[in-house]
């Protein structure tokens, strides 16, 4: 889930114009809880219907290690009557983890409770490989910067392959962010990446349009499955089931 500030006249204030301000002013925590509560309410029918469906929320490192974070998260999710296993916390790597031991302890507690935790923006942030290992997350998300260069720069592909091998060694999954072209998709698959998100699937959408997108994709998948059952030897087009279309509120 992503934050989008839309004024009454329809104009949009870019996230980079207000998210850093919310972080520096100390308002990002309240904003995070507000958006999570709204998303859980709107997504409730789908979350209840499909237990494999997951909702991700970005969390700053400072918020993650703040007093009462785990307790508040459990309370918000419990009030929404949603399984904790359907919630993923994405900790951005763009902000430095000043208390790595504290963060690792929180991640461990969250995982023991059933939440999933991802490290966001990997490849351009503050942490090194040892920090990724020490934090103990379920998933690492490869930053769009590396995805943009994967078809033009051999070093980008090398870094992505290294991150994939590291993740597999640590029993983590890998998600590529910001995929925009089919060429990037093919290059990422060649590097071993199995999940991705980005404009190649869909731009961020308000809930109503996001739900329409999921219904349309589900209908196409059902039709494709029936066609495959009828003609099992037919050559099928590339299918990457890990695509995460994204959700914005």
Q: What is the pLDDT of residues 72-120, one digit of tens each?
A: 999 999 999 999 999 999 998 666 677 888 999 999 999 999 999 999 9
Tell me the mean pLDDT in the region 183-202: 94
* Percent of the chain at pLDDT exceeding 90: 60
- Structural domains in the chain, CATH included, are 5-227 (3.20.20.450)
Q: Is the pLDDT confidence value at 245 over 70? A: no
Q: What integer pLDDT is reported at residue 214 of this predicted model?
A: 87
Q: Is the pLDDT confidence value at 238 over 50? A: no
pTM (2 d.p.): 0.83
Question: Residue 74 and residue 210: Cα distance in Å, rounded?
Answer: 26
Q: What integer pLDDT is reported at residue 233 of this predicted model?
A: 35
176 Cβ contact list (under 8 Å, min separation 6): 141, 142, 147, 160, 188, 193, 195, 196, 197, 198
- What the block records as the tokens of 46 is 């789908």
- Looking at residue 118, the DSSP 8-state letter turns out to be E
Tell me the mean pLDDT in the region 134-161: 93
Determine how β-strand 116-122 pairs with β-strand 139-142.
parallel
Q: Is the pLDDT confidence value at 241 over 50? A: no
CB 40 within 8 A of CB 56: no
Tell me the mean pLDDT in the region 150-165: 93
Provide Rg for the chain, Cα atoms.
Answer: 19
Question: Residue 3 and residue 206: Cα distance in Å, rounded?
Answer: 10
Q: Range with the lowest mean pLDDT among 64-78, 183-197, 235-249?
A: 235-249
Q: What integer pLDDT is reported at residue 218 of this predicted model?
A: 83
């Amino acid at each position: 889930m992503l934050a989008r500030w839309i004024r009454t006249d329809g104009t949009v204030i870019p996230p980079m114009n207000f998210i850093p301000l919310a972080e520096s002013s100390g308002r990002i925590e309240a904003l995070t809880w507000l958006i999570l509560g709204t998303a859980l309410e709107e997504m409730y029918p789908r979350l209840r219907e499909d237990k494999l469906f997951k909702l991700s929320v970005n969390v700053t490192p400072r918020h993650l290690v703040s007093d009462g974070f785990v307790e508040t998260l459990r309370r918000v999710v419990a009030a929404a009557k949603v399984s904790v296993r359907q919630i993923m916390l994405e900790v951005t790597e763009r902000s430095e983890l000043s208390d790595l031991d504290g963060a690792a302890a929180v991640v461990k507690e969250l995982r023991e409770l059933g939440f999933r935790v991802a490290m966001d923006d990997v490849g351009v942030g503050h942490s090194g490989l040892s920090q990724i290992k020490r934090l103990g997350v379920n998933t690492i998300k490869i930053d769009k910067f590396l995805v943009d260069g994967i078809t033009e720069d051999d070093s980008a592909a090398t870094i992505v392959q290294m991150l994939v091998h590291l993740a597999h060694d640590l029993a983590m999954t890998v998600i590529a962010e910001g995929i925009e072209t089919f060429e990037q998709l093919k290059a990422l698959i060649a590097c071993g990446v199995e999940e991705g998100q980005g404009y190649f699937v869909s731009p961020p959408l308000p809930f109503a349009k996001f739900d329409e997108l999921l219904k349309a994709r589900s209908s196409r998948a059902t039709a494709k499955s029936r066609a495959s059952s009828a003609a099992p030897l037919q050559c099928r087009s590339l299918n990457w089931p890990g695509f995460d279309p994204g959700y914005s509120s």
